[in-house]
Structure 1
Amino acid sequence: MISSAHLPVSGVFHSFLDYVHTTLNLDPLVFVNFGLIVIGLIASLRSAGAIIYSYAEKTCLSTVHVEEDDPLYDDIIRWMNDHEFRHRNFLSVLAQTLNNSDSDNALIQSSPSKLDFDRLVSYREVDDKSFVELKPFHGSRLFRFKRTWILFDHATKSPEVTGRIPSVEGKSKLKLQCLSLSLSPIKKFLDEVRAYGCKVSVSSTTVYRTRHNSRDVVRWSSVTSRPSRDISTIILDKHKKQTILRDINEYLHPHTRQWYANHGIPYRRGYLFSGPPGTGKTSLASAIAGVFGLDIYVLSLLDPTMTEPQFIRLFSEVPTRCVVLLEDVDAAGLSRCDLVPSQDGTQPRSDAQFTMGAGRATPAGTSAISLSGLLNAIDGVSSHEGRILIMTTNVPQRLDRALIRPGRVDIHTRFGLPSQEELRNLFLSIYSDVFQNTAAPTGQENGQTEKLNELAGHFAGRLSEGRFSLAEVQGFLLRYKRQPDEACDNISSWVKEMEYN
């Protein structure tokens, strides 16, 4: 205990103590001593609690850690925001600016009869289309899931320091704990979270690309989630389109996987889309992912910062059901190098001694990927089964036969410059909703459809087959998004302009 006789006080503070002592007839230092006792007790309880918690983690607490790089991280955050955090108040939150379409809808409804694009609009005058949403950020939350209490702990690792320069940002992590000798309760929660994530994203496709972190380790990272593209918007020969869809549908069926296993065949499927630029190869890959509810993992052979071991590891880390898109494999000069005799003139130089460069063979040791490395990634020992590999190329004849042999490329689909029928379908696809903004009298819908078909035939007749790519024609039609008549009137002058250029 602290005695007032040994405590040096002076001035106002000494007068205050005398006043309290006179008024309350109590020694003020009693309260000081009591406060010190409380503080010491709290510190002791915290220390004891940490010891007990550490012991419980080793004996009776089931714990699951989830890193930010894992797709499950986003699913857990989404589930917690939608189920546990929505109707609660928190002191520590994360503010996010989200887009809202209310202002756009108000702008559209202000002139529902006619879209006047000749009138210039200052969008500073339009109400802000965004709003701020507050979400729980860091901390621990205890919640109940199916009669089990689960501790949700969200934290950020401290930034790493390299030399004197700190890394950009610490990486977030999640920890889930429950009082159980088994991981079964948390496993059920994670299954619920995953099912909810699939339900929410059923109409969207997530695109993953590679990203270097602060330690220069390449990982898969979600870059965007966009609405799934309707397969009907892909302009391609119906027979080719249906052949691909039927083959993938059969491949993804659970019985097919068992059939592959029974016959000792690796459960993989590869497709090669070849053709001139702008003919819809990448668009078809995106639509395929949307049709079958798969995510897309995009790899580039031209990434100068990616080493061959990293490339092989990334291929092995893709999930069992996804689309792996390897774009423009010819752009990097992916072909078997000419056989160069060795010094003794007996042995040709191995493919592994060359790597891909910008259209030429470069010495090994660079950051490019060799042909043998790519083949090993596609169907090597570490390659996962169940994925769909789609490779696109503009010049298929440049590819080595080892890359496109059966087993690595099972179906080769050739995309050509559009025919008259495909040009007509493109026109109908662009203007399929052109009359929805105009109120047509009852009974005239068929007349509008006939008019649109007539314009489509007129438009396609002005273009030569095999002359322009779908991307070029679509670029022209986008100038007249809602004026099919003007598109038909100006197509001849556009053709002359393209031929002149």
Structure 2
Amino acid sequence: MSRVRRFASLVDLVSSNVVASGGLTVLAAGTLLALARSGAVVATDLVMRRCVARVEFDSRDDSYRWMSAWLSKRGEGRRFTAVTSLSRLGDTKEDLTTTGVVLVPTGTILLRHARRWMFFARERHDDARSAKEREALTLHVLFGSRRDIEAIIAEARAAYDVARRQRVRVYAVDQHGWWNRVGDRAARPLESVVLADPDAPAKLLDDCREFLASESRYARRGIPYRRGYLLHGSPGSGKTSLVLALASELGLPVYVLAADARSLTDAAFAEVLNAADVPSIVLVEDVDAAFPTSRNDDDDAEISRGGLTLAGLLNALDGVLAQEGRLVFLTTNRVDALDPALLRPGRVDYRLMFGRVTPDQLARYAIRVYEGTLSHDQAAGLASKLPADLLSMAQLQALLANCAPDQAMTALERLVEEAVEDVTSSTRDDKYY
């Protein structure tokens, strides 16, 4: 009973003390507010988990480009980033609006699509691994499901692919070892690549198509599903142009690797090679520049001018860690400088040589460049002025692109004279390579 009396006395004392009663009131209110806020957080988290489907798109992935382009076309939101193109997303000037800029929504964007309410949150983050700032786009779909998210992504990708149908995506490795989309190249028809053998481009395209359609046949026979191509010959003869034309015809992206990059170690080379899309074209340029012209049996193929060794290249192409489903193109100006181990079947399955321009090749190319304004007789006359094995296709292209048909003969004769003089004096300079 004494305890009850003491408690009652304490209550009377507190209630009679304004400061004490006020402090207790504030304490109680604060506790209730904290409990309410905690409850609200729990309730919000529960609602988000139960009622909202969520997906995040990283700016290093192609899906980020699909969704960003999709949002920019809708024109939703009140906050935008104005850019003159979406080049930082790998896109081009074709995305410009009538105002000359693209408005990319930023912040939080609320919209209704396909009878669903959804909102996008666009944020920037510091990437500790690459020391670069990256962006993330998060989609929340109210009362949505995985199927709803997949449908939105599929719609955005389809719209993006329609807009890019006449473009070839080109990727290169950045200084941090990531594939970076360096832009799109205009798709070019295979007929635009004029070689000495007029049937060579079509035969190569047929081989690529046959490989891409033969995955199940490779699996049944237990053969590794990969295909290697070697394009070799004089500089400026159209090796890279042919690869881009093949990519256009096949609808594949091109991943470009420089074998002599000093920052590209064996492990990094294998990693980026395996990170390329499937199917895709992997272009390893100037592979002869990465290694000495010869090696001894006791050096274990570990000599290279850059960070990549020959053993690392061979293992990445067809070793245990090699991935499948890609068309790997190697280019070189000096096929005799390549180690025989690189040329064996399984690493190189198809070879195509590129030489200097022949007279017949010049005639066919001139007719194509001048689009019907040059007759076959005129083209034959032009070709008669060209000695074989003197000029590269790059020289010829530069010549015809900068002069009218009636000036081509004079310009060609002048270029031939200069080239012959250089050959005679053995001082041919780099402009002819």
Is the TM value for this pair above 0.5?
yes
1:146 aligns to what?
114
Shift of 1:179: 4.5
Equivalent-residue separation in structure 1 for 2:100 and 2:250 (angstroms): 33
Instruction: From the superposition, tell whether residues 456 and 161 of structure 1 become closer, same or farther in structure 2 (CA, over 3 Å).
Output: closer
Shift of 1:286: 0.7
Judge conservation of contact 2:167–2:186 (CA < 8 Å) in 1: yes
Higher deviation after alignment, 227-236 or 58-67: 58-67
Of residues 201, 206, 219, the one that matches 1:241 is 201
Q: Which has the higher helix share?
A: 2
Equivalent-residue separation in structure 1 for 2:129 and 2:34 (angstroms): 32
Amino acid at match of 2:321: S
Equivalent-residue separation in structure 2 for 1:349 and 1:368 (angstroms): 16
Judge conservation of contact 1:455–1:484 (CA < 8 Å) in 2: no
Q: What percentage of aligned pairs have identical amino acids?
A: 31
Judge conservation of contact 2:123–2:136 (CA < 8 Å) in 1: yes
**1:111-138, Cα deviation, whole Å (9 max, x unpaired):** xxxxxxxxxxxxxxxxxx982333212x
Judge conservation of contact 1:298–1:326 (CA < 8 Å) in 2: yes
Equivalent-residue separation in structure 2 for 1:423 and 1:416 (angstroms): 12
Helix, strand or coil at the partner of 1:170: strand
Q: After the TM superposition, which segments of 4 or more aligned residues of structure 1 sit over 6 Å from their partners?
A: 40-47
Judge conservation of contact 2:359–2:387 (CA < 8 Å) in 1: yes
Of residues 473, 477, 485, the one that matches 2:400 is 477
Equivalent-residue separation in structure 2 for 1:161 and 1:189 (angstroms): 30
Equivalent-residue separation in structure 2 for 1:41 and 1:205 (angstroms): 61
Amino acid at match of 1:454: D
2:125 aligns to what?
157
Runs of 5+ unmatched residues, structure 1: 1-39, 102-128, 340-347, 358-366, 436-450
Q: Is 2:360 the counterpart of 1:428?
A: no
Q: Is 2:417 the counterpart of 1:458?
A: no
2:11 aligns to what?
none
Shift of 1:49: 4.6
Instruction: From the superposition, tell whether residues 158 and 473 of structure 1 become closer, same or farther in structure 2 (CA, over 3 Å).
Output: closer
Equivalent-residue separation in structure 2 for 1:176 and 1:295 (angstroms): 27
Aligned residues: 383
2:164 aligns to what?
201
1:231 aligns to what?
190
1:52 aligns to what?
43
Equivalent-residue separation in structure 1 for 2:83 and 2:356 (angstroms): 45
Q: Is 2:84 the counterpart of 1:97?
A: yes
Helix, strand or coil at the partner of 2:123: strand
Shift of 1:63: 2.6
**1:186-212, Cα deviation, whole Å (9 max, x unpaired):** 122222222222222111001100113
Judge conservation of contact 1:336–1:371 (CA < 8 Å) in 2: no
2:8 aligns to what?
none
Judge conservation of contact 1:205–1:228 (CA < 8 Å) in 2: yes
Shift of 1:466: 1.5
2:415 aligns to what?
494
Shift of 1:51: 3.4
Of residues 224, 232, 235, the one that matches 1:277 is 235
- Please list, as runs of the form range in 1=range in 2, the aligned pairs for 1:45-444 lying within 5 A after superposition: 49-82=40-73, 84=74, 86=75, 88-90=76-78, 92-98=79-85, 131-137=100-106, 139-158=107-126, 170-179=133-142, 182-212=145-175, 217-236=176-195, 237-253=197-213, 256-333=214-291, 337-339=295-297, 348-351=298-301, 354-357=302-305, 368-432=307-371, 435=373
Instruction: From the superposition, tell whether residues 336 and 175 of structure 1 become closer, same or farther in structure 2 (CA, over 3 Å).
Output: farther
Judge conservation of contact 2:399–2:411 (CA < 8 Å) in 1: no
Equivalent-residue separation in structure 2 for 1:100 and 1:209 (angstroms): 20
Q: Taking structure 2 as the reference length, what is the TM-score of the superposition?
A: 0.81
Judge conservation of contact 2:304–2:310 (CA < 8 Å) in 1: yes
Aligned alpha-carbon RMSD (Å) = 2.9
Q: Taking structure 1 as the reference length, what is the TM-score of the superposition?
A: 0.70
Equivalent-residue separation in structure 1 for 2:238 and 2:83 (angstroms): 36
Runs of 5+ unmatched residues, structure 2: 1-30, 86-91, 423-433
